[in-house]
Chain A
Amino acid sequence: MLSFNSSNIISKTKTISRRMFLISSIKTVVLLGIFGRLASLQINESSKYKSLADKNRFRESKIAPPRGIIEDYFGNEIASNTKIYQLHITPETAPDIDALLFRLKNVLNLSNQKIVLLKKKIAKRKSWDTTIVSDNLTWSEFSRVNLFLHELQGAQPVVSVARYYKDNNSAHAIGYVSEISPNDLKTKKYLKNLNIEGVEIGKTGLESSLDEQMLGSPGFLRYEVNAYGKKIKQVATDLGTKGKTFRTTLDKNIQKISAEALEKVSGAVCVMDISNGDVISMVSSPNFNPNSFVHGVNKDEWRGLTENIDKPMLNKALSGLYPPGSTIKTLTALSALENDIMNPQQLIECKGYIDLHGERFHCWKKKGHGVLSMRNAIKRSCDVYFYEVARKLGIDRLSKTAKQFGLGQKALTNFKEEKAGTVPNTKWKLNEIGKNWYIGETLHSGIGQGYFLSTPIQLCLMVAQIANGGFKIKPRMLVDRNNETNNLQKYLDYKQKNPNDLNSIEQQIFNFGLEPLFRNQENINFVKEAMFAASNEAGGTSYRSRHSDKKFMFAGKTGSSQIKRFTEAQREAEVKQKDITYLERDHAWFVAYAPVQDPKYAISVLVEHGGSGSSAAAPLAKKIIKKVIERHETRTAQTNQQLGKNI
């Protein structure tokens, strides 16, 4: 057996070795073949291929695809494209590049500095790459170039497209585009094939988050050239694909009104549809001109923008963090009712302050409000009442309700610049600050001061979710054509038509597939009613800004976020907000829903250093609400039209 096995191995080995020898011989022959081919190409015929390479008959240039459009809800273009005139040069086609630049300098009145920059840029790149001399020529410059074209060999006048924004109203929401920076190339993989001279990419807002889809795919132009690089014949063209167009939920008309309302102040406005979270308006002020960035912002303008104390580049609606102030009292009250801490009839006396563990907590009204029920405390925004509510409620329960209603987390998904804000509680303080919570902080939190930080969009969402009867909505700024069913709207319509429906609320929630945020809807209704009182009954904080016409009637809550606490001396002297320096004045808030009878929209208005909510923010909200309600029917018609298309 063993002998058989070993003889078997020996015979196998013999065959294998013999045949492998044959293979190795074949390999040697193939190897010689490859050597021969290499030698023939690279030594014998090298000069032929070198000259072929020098005047390689084909050149290819990439074509930047037109960027996708951003529309408002009605299809009006917010960010569009416009025709521009450019001048490109291709060094290899110019007999003398220095002479060409010198000639161009005279024709276009270019500065010496610009010429030096261009020379540097050209030196860094391959001789067949095009370099843009000027990316936005005026018509007269463009025609002058065309006139002298015979002297400008190597330069090509080009008609191209670039981003254009009709107005500045949506500058923050939409964002702006600008040229690709080295950092963008590192962080954004999708730019690899799009690194074409003259392509602009989104830097902020929707322009940034939708960038990849809006860029489209580049085309190319392949052409035959002669030995001097001059184009002889075009052989293939692919114009590329245009970027995707997006429809937003914004309304251009309301954007305009909001921007006008904020014209003289620094602040932000958000308007939201309470049934589906559609952001109808989002404006931050002061704004900037996004068109300035398309062709490179100039130094002075940039310095003006960055050094302005009102921070024009910041989208305050999403990234501005402010204590919510008294607007949070809606949630403090709601949380106390939902947790059965208080009943709405409970009376508390306000003497203008309360003392707790040796510390004095003041009401904004020095003389005090007297004896108040919860409804009146919201209506007149009494601080002492809510110190007491907060003390009984405790910070952890308040923070739970606040988070439920959308505070402390990003409201939208499309903005990388959006901030989440802070909803403090005992655990948060221990983790973030490393100290224990103390009761005085609960009192400050109960009136929205202290650690609380929120953005205007969050407060808008909060009011929207109160106004719609306490149901969760997901704010959005992009229309999703595949997902337009709106159960909450159906529920609200049904309720409006059948106010005496005998089905229990649980049954209705189930029927319409809703996501409630409450335990007892009566509590939500109580808060809504108290907000109504605050705006529409004498003595309410925003009574002076009310609409008496039922169609526009709104219910709102004022607020102010403290920048600097008053000293006892200032309090004694009854110093007014307008008497202190601008940067120390409180931020003014106003949040509201409208119309009162059949709520449709929620709004939040922030005026930085505006003083009080009732005098600085509420009047702006009044103007905007009127326009929003006036536009309601048009918007509904548009919604139905879109739904019709889907069906």
Chain B
Amino acid sequence: MLTRRLHSPFALKDKFFDLDFTLLFSILLLGVISIFAQYSSSGGQFDYHSKSHAIRFIVFFFFFLSISFINIRFWNDYSLLIFILLILLLVAVKFYGVQSQGSRRWINLFIFNLQPSELMKVGIILFLSNYYHKISSSDVNKFKYLFYPLVALLVPFMLVVSQPDLGTALLILISGVVITWLSGVKWRIFAYLTGLFIILAPIAISFLKPYQKNRILTFLNPDADPLGAGYQIIQSKIAIGSGGLFGKGFLNGSQSYLNFLPEKHTDFIFTLYSEEFGFVGSVFMVFLYFLITFRITQIGNITRSIFGKLYCYGFATAFFVYVAVNMSMVLGLLPIVGAPLPILSYGGSSMLAMMFGLGIVMSCNVYKNNAVG
């Protein structure tokens, strides 16, 4: 039955109708909104950010579609290879990376600068889903089988922390922890590791760069230093709050135009959007992100393979965490750690990683009835 479907001339057409159109159109809508938001962030000019953002979105959207039609088995088989490749890229960044504003995060691929740590956000989920797919549920809590995931989590974490990029490193760590926890690792073990972490934290903090320490301290009391790091949080809150119920209108966000937000096209894009479209627009945006998370979880529910389930649940959670962390950050609920808002923020590597991750989710949907090796 299955082989016949694969070889039938209608195979691709059939598969096309297996796509999850709610998810597909949500992503498309988000992409369109993001281009408008970037247009506004460049002060109403298409040339700077919006043009390259639009081109990236279109290219990566087709990339996303093509990944959707690759059998989920392929991603299971090659997840270890992809993970190792990403580790190698992270090591390469250490030595040959492009330096910018004090941190070494990018690798020059001649056409564009790639940030491997962004791709690692997806890579860790792929690898751990595959790992827990393979081992038996009775082995999950055995020491031998705990060791590998721990190493797989700590190596990329340390590599990214040392770039230095605390935000991305924490997001990678959270994505991995979620998968291990979903797979049935006992509460107790997490409790032990957290305990160990708390004991080691003061030592770890001594390794942090002064600006990173500052950010944590600033978060605790932003009004203490209104012109330093707390400045951004205050300005972001003023921008969002002054947006009111319906916002100031497209291209009319006075706070954003005053250039108080240094990263308004990347991490603070939601601030700009929220100021211009108000509470109604923001709620719509949050709803759109929630819808995407919800659909990914649904795909996880109907996928038969453990790999697919773990991957979808893991990615749904990670995606939600990125959104929640970024929004909490600009709303003043979390310290500023440098986490982009998926798809909306400017940045090629982040968009590539998200579209790649979503592509595999879609592949889970298209091949939901396939067994995986």
> Is residue B286 contacting chain A, with contact meaning CB distance below 8 A?
yes
A20 in contact with B313 (CB, 8 Å): yes
A23 in contact with B313 (CB, 8 Å): yes
B258 in contact with A56 (CB, 8 Å): yes
Query: How long is the Cα–Cα vector from A34 to B321 in the complex, in angstroms?
Result: 12
Chain A 51-82, CB within 8 Å of chain B: the 1/0 string? 01110101110000000000000000000000
Interface of chain A residues 177 through 231 with chain B (CB within 8 A): 185-186, 192, 222
B257 in contact with A53 (CB, 8 Å): no
Query: How long is the Cα–Cα vector from A157 to B242 in the complex, in angstroms?
Result: 33
- Chain A interface: which size bin? 35 or more
B137 in contact with A53 (CB, 8 Å): no
Q: What residues of chain B lie closer than 8 Å to A37, measured between beta carbons?
A: 328, 331-333
Chain A nearest CB: distance from B137 CB in Å?
A: 5
Interface of chain A residues 238 through 263 with chain B (CB within 8 A): none
Q: What residues of chain A lie closer than 8 Å to B260, measured between beta carbons?
A: 56, 58, 60
**A16 and B183 in contact, given A53-B238, A53-B239, A53-B254 (Cβ under 8 angstroms):** yes
Tell which of B245, B258, B301 touches A128, judged by Cβ atoms closer than 8 Å: B258
Residue of B nearest to A47 (CB): B244
B240 in contact with A23 (CB, 8 Å): no
Q: What residues of chain A lie closer than 8 Å to B331, measured between beta carbons?
A: 34, 37-38, 41
Chain B nearest CB: distance from A198 CB in Å?
A: 17
Q: What residues of chain A lie closer than 8 Å to B181, measured between beta carbons?
A: 19
A27 in contact with B47 (CB, 8 Å): no
Of the candidate stretches A6-14, A375-383, A402-410, the one touching chain B is A6-14
> Is residue B207 contacting chain A, with contact meaning CB distance below 8 A?
no
Chain B interface, number of residues (Cβ within 8 angstroms): 50
Chain B nearest CB: distance from A223 CB in Å?
A: 11
Query: How long is the Cα–Cα vector from A20 to B257 in the complex, in angstroms?
Result: 42
> Is residue B232 contacting chain A, with contact meaning CB distance below 8 A?
no
Query: How long is the Cα–Cα vector from A471 to B314 in the complex, in angstroms?
Result: 70
Q: What residues of chain B lie closer than 8 Å to A53, measured between beta carbons?
A: 238-239, 241-242, 254-255
Chain A nearest CB: distance from B134 CB in Å?
A: 11
> Is residue A39 contacting chain B, with contact meaning CB distance below 8 A?
yes
Tell which of A8, A60, A186 touches B258, judged by Cβ atoms closer than 8 Å: A60
> Is residue B279 contacting chain A, with contact meaning CB distance below 8 A?
yes
Interface of chain B residues 265 through 324 with chain A (CB within 8 A): 274, 278-279, 282-283, 286, 290, 293, 297, 300-301, 306, 309-310, 313, 317, 320, 324
Query: How long is the Cα–Cα vector from A642 to B317 in the complex, in angstroms?
Result: 65
Q: What residues of chain B lie closer than 8 Å to A49, measured between beta carbons?
A: 237-238, 240-242
Residue of A nearest to B42 (CB): A192
**A20 and B328 in contact, given A50-B242, A235-B227 (Cβ under 8 angstroms):** no
> Is residue B3 contacting chain A, with contact meaning CB distance below 8 A?
no
A34 in contact with B297 (CB, 8 Å): no
> Is residue B184 contacting chain A, with contact meaning CB distance below 8 A?
yes
A38 in contact with B306 (CB, 8 Å): no
B contacts with A: majority SS: helix
Chain B nearest CB: distance from A299 CB in Å?
A: 30
> Is residue A577 contacting chain B, with contact meaning CB distance below 8 A?
no
Chain A nearest CB: distance from B326 CB in Å?
A: 10
A contacts with B: majority SS: helix
Query: How long is the Cα–Cα vector from A48 to B310 in the complex, in angstroms?
Result: 45
Chain B nearest CB: distance from A508 CB in Å?
A: 44
Q: What residues of chain A lie closer than 8 Å to B242, measured between beta carbons?
A: 46, 49-50, 52-54
> Is residue A597 contacting chain B, with contact meaning CB distance below 8 A?
no
> Is residue A126 contacting chain B, with contact meaning CB distance below 8 A?
yes
Tell which of A12, A126, A236 touches B306, judged by Cβ atoms closer than 8 Å: A12
> Is residue A35 contacting chain B, with contact meaning CB distance below 8 A?
yes
> Is residue A45 contacting chain B, with contact meaning CB distance below 8 A?
yes
A192 in contact with B324 (CB, 8 Å): no
Query: How long is the Cα–Cα vector from A222 to B262 in the complex, in angstroms?
Result: 14
Query: How long is the Cα–Cα vector from A246 to B313 in the complex, in angstroms?
Result: 60
Query: How long is the Cα–Cα vector from A506 to B259 in the complex, in angstroms?
Result: 65
Q: What residues of chain A lie closer than 8 Å to B132, measured between beta carbons?
A: 12
Query: How long is the Cα–Cα vector from A8 to B320 in the complex, in angstroms?
Result: 29
Tell which of A35, A59, A236 touches B283, judged by Cβ atoms closer than 8 Å: A35
B227 in contact with A236 (CB, 8 Å): yes
Chain A nearest CB: distance from B180 CB in Å?
A: 11
Tell which of A8, A35, A56, A222 touches B137, judged by Cβ atoms closer than 8 Å: A8
> Is residue A111 contacting chain B, with contact meaning CB distance below 8 A?
no
Q: What residues of chain B lie closer than 8 Å to A16, measured between beta carbons?
A: 182-184, 306, 309-310, 313
**A23 and B317 in contact, given A37-B331, A42-B274, A60-B258 (Cβ under 8 angstroms):** yes
Interface of chain A residues 109 through 136 with chain B (CB within 8 A): 126, 128
Q: What residues of chain A lie closer than 8 Å to B30, measured between beta carbons?
A: none
Chain A residues within CB distance 8 Å of chain B: 8-9, 11-13, 15-17, 19-20, 23-24, 27, 30-31, 33-35, 37-39, 41-43, 45-46, 48-50, 52-54, 56, 58-60, 126, 128, 185-186, 192, 222, 235-236
| 3 interchain residue pairs of minimum CB distance | A49-B241, A53-B242, A42-B279
What would 12 more interface pairs be, CB under 8 Å, given A19-B184, A33-B328, A53-B241? A9-B306, A16-B183, A20-B182, A20-B313, A27-B293, A34-B333, A38-B331, A41-B331, A48-B241, A50-B241, A53-B255, A185-B47
